[in-house]
Structure 1
Amino acid sequence: MTDIEIDGLIATINTASRQLQTYLDEQLKPLKLTSSNYYFILKINQAPTLTQDQLFKRIYLSQSNVTRRLEQLIRLGYVQKERSQ
């Protein structure tokens, strides 16, 4: 594959990703969710006893972003947070 072909493929994937994110945001709007928050729910659903630190490592976002998103999901009633033993 040439550099031009790779650049074209990257551009196509980026465009498709943005279109999918926009579509998903629209579909999730009635639930007061975004595609980003939905991604958190998917990760948590894969491992329900995940600690916040483990989630941080799986999502590759800063701890402050993870904390903020989790607080949103807790307020909306989608996630429960318990103190780890």
Structure 2
Amino acid sequence: MAGHNGEKSLQYFYRYLPKQEADIIHNIRIKHMEFFFQIDTLIITSKFLIVLEIKNYTGELSLMINMDNSFGLQVKEEKSLKTLFNK
């Protein structure tokens, strides 16, 4: 439900995109061999494509880039720290 709420909250910002220059497609499900993957939103223009994976986190979001160029994403909430991913 939180992801859906995050997607709905972006509707406000989509209205500022030039309608004649950008197509916006939501909730795409694509099959590749026996696997499926999902794209929350795809924005298509004549110059580029943008794939949006939308989340709805609360708290302070931090991107950490390490000396070896690995990186991680964390959300710091009032009483906890969640590591979303490390690569």
Decide which structure has greater strand share. Answer: 2
TM-score, normalization by structure 2: 0.24
